[in-house]
């Protein structure tokens, strides 16, 4: 069924290795032979077998990308530029979407069907990074990271959260709430830590009763804010672990009839495109999402090419984007 290099060789009147070399651009093949081979390949619609090539070269030019949940509006903004950059570098993307890292670990990543892995949603307690390291399968952290050392493309989450804390303090807020990501993620933990640290510096407290944590999802923000609105006295501002949580919070406020920003300030993190929709106009922390994804692709490919180079960590510095969901603290 499939046309092989041998078929091309027969038609072109050369040997199979010559076909391989001619098509791969080996300089030792004469222009004349190359022309003949290319013509024959064209005529037969020859496409080299990926499996054959992989087996021979021990490289698949494929990268595995792990993401928990594509329907979360955040991840596509990471995956899309990652995909494009990988293609640009001559690699293809294999997407693995699983709730937990562990499920994927052994079989699926280790059958030599991929040359490397991009981890976008690792948790700090995941055994996967260590396992990949042990197996010498190159990988890179994107967005989140964990204790096992590896190349990484991440945001300075603490700094970004600090910007928010100081802005809120400057607006006179003192009853501040937080809806953070999971404590077992670096993004969840660092954003909370940076926020607390900066608040403490300006003398504002963040009691546990005004703190909620959960997955970086719409439902987390919606449900958490609904709860927080019942706390008495009610918080006047809430910092959300990411934009998606913030959108959930905005929705809950709308539902509850609480006016944003007059009665409640809401601030997110990431600045995904939806944050700028008229319906939301979310004040948030912006960072170079696309650049970060592309950097991860480059780091990984570099690691595959030169496995023993020093580890590299690309850290993006975020900035505060002031839209319409923040306002001075209302008088009591």
Partner DNA sequence: CCGTATCGTGCATACGTATGAACACTATGC
Partner DNA sequence: GCATAGTGTTCATACGTATGCACGATACGG
Positions touching a second copy (CB under 8 A) are: 1-2, 45, 47-52, 54-55, 58, 60, 69-71, 73, 76-77, 79-80, 83-84, 92-95, 97, 106-108, 110-113, 135-136, 218, 247, 250-252, 254-255, 273, 277-280
- Does residue 2 belong to the site contacting DNA (CB under 7 A)? yes
278's tokens: 């008229």
Task: Specify the residue, 26 or 209, whose C-beta has the smaller distance to DNA.
Answer: 26
- Does residue 136 belong to the site contacting DNA (CB under 7 A)? no
CA angle, residues 6, 46, 93, in degrees to nearest 5 = 115
φ, ψ of residue 195 in degrees (nearest 5): -65, -50
Q: Report which DSSP code applies to 318.
A: P
Half-sphere exposure of 165 (CA within 13 A, CB side): 24
- Does residue 32 belong to the site contacting DNA (CB under 7 A)? yes
Query: Strand 284-286 relative to strand 319-321: parallel, antiparallel, unpaired?
Result: antiparallel
CA angle, residues 112, 114, 115, in degrees to nearest 5 = 95
Q: Which does 4 bind (CB under 5 to 8 A by kind): DNA, a second copy, none?
A: DNA
Three-state DSSP at 252 gives: helix
189's tokens: 């933990």
Contacts of 124 (CB under 8 A, 6+ apart): 146, 147, 184, 185, 186, 189
Cβ 166 vs Cβ 285: under 8 Å: no
CA distance 325 to 192: 20
- Does residue 106 belong to the site contacting DNA (CB under 7 A)? no
- What's the min distance (Å) between Cβ of 290 and a second copy? 10
Contact with DNA (CB under 7 A) among 42, 43, 56, 207 = 56
Contact with DNA (CB under 7 A) among 39, 42, 43, 51 = 51
Task: For residue 313, count other CB atoms closer than 10 A to its CB.
Answer: 13
Helices and strands, number each (H, E), in the chain: 12, 12
Q: Which does 212 bind (CB under 5 to 8 A by kind): DNA, a second copy, none?
A: none
- What's the min distance (Å) between Cβ of 32 and a second copy? 25
| Per-residue contact string for residues 223-252; x = within reach of DNA by CB under 7 A | ------------------------------
Could you tell me which stretch among 25-33, 142-150, 190-198, 304-312 binds DNA (CB under 7 A)? 25-33
Q: Which does 28 bind (CB under 5 to 8 A by kind): DNA, a second copy, none?
A: DNA
Terminal CA-CA length for the chain: 78
Q: Which does 15 bind (CB under 5 to 8 A by kind): a second copy, DNA, none?
A: DNA
Q: Please give the size of the binding site for DNA, defined by CB under 7 A.
A: 30
Contact with DNA (CB under 7 A) among 10, 25, 52, 305 = 52
- What's the min distance (Å) between Cβ of 69 and a second copy? 7
Cβ 150 vs Cβ 185: under 8 Å: no
What is the C-alpha R_g of the chain?
25
Q: Which does 230 bind (CB under 5 to 8 A by kind): a second copy, DNA, none?
A: none
- Does residue 53 belong to the site contacting DNA (CB under 7 A)? yes
- Does residue 55 belong to the site contacting DNA (CB under 7 A)? yes
Cis peptide before 285 (omega within 30 of 0): no
- Does residue 305 belong to the site contacting DNA (CB under 7 A)? no
Instruction: Give the residues lining the site for DNA (CB under 7 A).
Output: 2, 4-6, 13-18, 20-21, 23-24, 27-30, 32-33, 46, 48-49, 51-53, 55-58
């Amino acid at each position: 069924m499939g046309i092989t290099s041998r078929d091309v060789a027969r038609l072109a009147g050369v040997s199979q290795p010559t076909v391989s070399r001619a098509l791969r651009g080996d300089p030792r093949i004469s222009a004349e032979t190359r022309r003949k081979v290319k013509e024959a390949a064209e005529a037969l619609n020859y496409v080299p077998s990926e499996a054959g090539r992989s087996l021979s070269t021990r490289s698949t030019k494929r990268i595995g990308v792990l993401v928990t949940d594509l329907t979360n509006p955040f991840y596509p903004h990471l995956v899309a530029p990652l995909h494009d950059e990988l293609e640009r570098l001559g690699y293809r993307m294999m997407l693995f979407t699983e709730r937990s890292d562990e499920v994927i670990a052994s079989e699926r990543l280790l059958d030599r069907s991929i040359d490397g892995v991009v981890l976008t949603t690792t948790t700090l307690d995941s055994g996967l990074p260590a396992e990949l390291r042990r197996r010498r399968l190159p990988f890179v952290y994107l967005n989140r990271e964990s204790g096992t050392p590896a190349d990484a493309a991440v945001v300075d989450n603490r700094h970004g959260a600090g910007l928010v804390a100081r802005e809120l303090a400057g607006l006179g807020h003192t009853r501040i709430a937080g809806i953070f990501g999971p404590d077992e993620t670096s993004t969840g933990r660092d954003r909370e830590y940076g926020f607390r640290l900066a608040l403490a510096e300006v003398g504002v407290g963040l009691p546990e009763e005004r703190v909620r944590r959960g997955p970086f999802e719409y439902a987390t923000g919606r449900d958490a804010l609904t709860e927080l609105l019942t706390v008495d006295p009610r918080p006047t501002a809430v910092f959300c672990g990411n934009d998606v949580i913030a959108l959930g919070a905005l929705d809950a406020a709308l539902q509850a009839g609480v006016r944003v920003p007059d009665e409640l300030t809401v601030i997110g993190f990431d600045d995904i495109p939806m944050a700028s929709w008229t319906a939301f106009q979310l004040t948030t922390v912006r960072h170079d999402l696309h650049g970060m994804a592309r950097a991860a692709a480059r780091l990984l490919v570099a690691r595959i090419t030169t496995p023993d180079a020093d580890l590299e960590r690309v850290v993006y510095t975020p900035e505060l984007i002031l839209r319409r969901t923040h306002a001075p603290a209302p008088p009591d």
